[in-house]
Amino acid sequence: MFQDIAAALLADAPELRGKLLPNASMSELTWLRVGGPAQVLFKPADEEDLAYFLARCPADIPVMAVGVGSNLLVRDGGVPGVVIRLGRGFNDIEPLGGARIRVGAAVPDVRLAQAAAQAGIAKLAFYRGIPGTVGGALRMNAGAHGGETKDVLVEARAVDRSGAVHVYDNAGMGFTYRHCGVPDDQIFTRAVFEGVPGDPAEIERQMQCVAEYREANQPIKSRTGGSTFKNPPGKSAWRLIDEAGCRGFRVGGAHMSEMHCNFLINDQNATATDIETLGETVRKRVFEKTGIMLDWEIKRIGVPAPTSAALAAAE
């Protein structure tokens, strides 16, 4: 458990409308279902409330945003500082005409795909295959099935640590493979996407194909964090993992999926340490076999659990 700083934060921001929760469980908020608590979990009411809080949060307190936790590994010691999770105030969806649609950063990617289909906007069906939120898609230039966020984004809004709002056009996002160049301490709040006019029935058919492919080829019904590693240039991460003999490889309560070996699975009440050790061991074996060091696609946050020696010294 961390020191409770929620009361002090609230004293500095007395007009806050969102919720500040001390020592809030993070394992319940991630698909891998592991990890320690957030020192403070903040659920802002809307963009104005988020900006108000950030402008008053002491600069020495770490702040980070999370989505639905689909590609997130929280370490066993938890997350010092403030974890921000956007909710209902960031769930708006509004077709704008001209094959454009505006959505809040907390909107799941699958809902973006569905809303675009209903509005007859093509080129966004690939979001049906991404298990995250719009905010995460902006931060990591999420993509699947031949489409990427950089291909369809018009602009995005973000709030920085001072509470100032920034608007970025596509070029200003600095997109590269599974990355954007916007400073990490800025939190996305909404975005505008643009596709092309399309037939809703045809778009729905494309989305169904994406869903069927995922079900047939990925362990989507397991406790997983999605793709574990990024694909190196010109290579497939899963193929490198397979060549290194790591399909099905296990550490503690976690193993690399037999169905798709770039997915790690928590199937036996793994700890975050089990999962991170598994991933690091796979990276080492792939490097020894191929000379290629895989980069994590799953985001790892927080601190390790204290060792028994450290706990004894603290008593």
Whether residue 97 is predicted with pLDDT greater than 60 in this model: the reply is yes
Q: Averaged over 247-271, what is the pLDDT?
A: 97
Secondary structure of 61-116 as H, E, C letters: CCEEEECCCCCEEECCCCEEEEEEECCHHHCCEEEEECCEEEEECCCEHHHHHHHH
Q: Give the pLDDT band of residue 311 (cuts 50, 70, 90).
A: very low
The 10s digit of each residue's pLDDT in 160-199 is 999 999 999 999 999 999 999 999 999 999 999 999 999 9
**pLDDT score for 242:** 98
Whether residue 314 is predicted with pLDDT greater than 70 in this model: the reply is no
CB count within 10 Å of CB 9 equals: 20
Residue 38's Cβ-count burial label (10 Å; 0-12, 13-18, 19+) is: buried
Which two structure tokens, joined as six digits, stand for 225? 């964090």
**pLDDT score for 307:** 65
The 10s digit of each residue's pLDDT in 218-237 is 998 899 998 999 999 999 99
Out of 21-30, 265-274, 300-309, least confident range: 300-309
Indicate which residues carry an active-site annotation.
178, 227, 297
